[in-house]
Amino acid sequence: MRSAGRGGGEQARVLDAELLHVTLCFLGNRAAEEIEPLAARLAACRGPVGELSVGAPLWLPPRRPRALAVELHDERDLLAELQKSVLTACGDPSEEHSDAAAVRDARAAKHRRFRPHVTVARLRAGVDRRSKGSGGIERALPPTPALSFVPSELILYSSWLAPEGASYEALASHPIA
């Protein structure tokens, strides 16, 4: 289990490097008995993803951002294909799940455009990224470095949010290539 916090009173909390990841599907709250069958279904989600490159910085969500991320370029759409495979493997939670919020989250994910990105920082409560004055963060961001990588595994995480940052625990891991 790892924590994302770096302490201090900064306007944004930068995530520790070992916590950087690409979210393919947010599952919401799930009962403990659902985890093992879900992890088994995710094992079937394979295929080469190929090289991904880091793009421009972006604020998420765009209207009232709570996070700073960098977009990922998936030139051959192989990551997008893996994401669709993961959504299919996760199935419709309404058939096996009674948590209304999880059902709503899963259905929304199926209709939302996949925007591959890596979150690098989270804004602290009350920070307005649009204005430089009164505690805001400057709107213009420096360009991101020219970086690329090849994802190698699909990991099912459990996460907990806390004021000092998120904590993550890997529940299952499967190679994807």
Q: Which residue is listed with tokens 């963060």?
A: 137
pLDDT given at position 37: 93
Residues near 154 by beta carbon (within 8 Å), at least 6 away in sequence: 24, 42, 45, 82, 86, 173, 174, 175, 176
For the chain, what is the domain count?
1
Give the three-class secondary structure for 168. Answer: strand
**CATH number of the domain bearing residue 17:** 3.90.1140.10
What does the pLDDT read at residue 110?
60
The pair of structure tokens assigned to 96 is 């096996």
Residue-level pLDDT at 128: 63
pLDDT at 3: 42
* Domain coverage including residue 153: 2-175
The pLDDT value recorded for residue 101 is 58
Cα–Cα nearest to 29, from 163, 159, 146: 159
What is the pLDDT at residue 149? 94
Instruction: Evaluate whether 79 touches 49 at the Cβ level (below 8 Å).
Output: yes
pLDDT of residue 6: 46
- Residue 104 confidence (pLDDT): 60
Structure token pair of residue 19: 């916590």
The token pair at 125 is 């409560």
What's the average pLDDT block by block, 10 residues per block, for the chain (177 residues)? 49 86 89 91 90 93 88 95 92 56 58 88 71 51 88 91 82 90
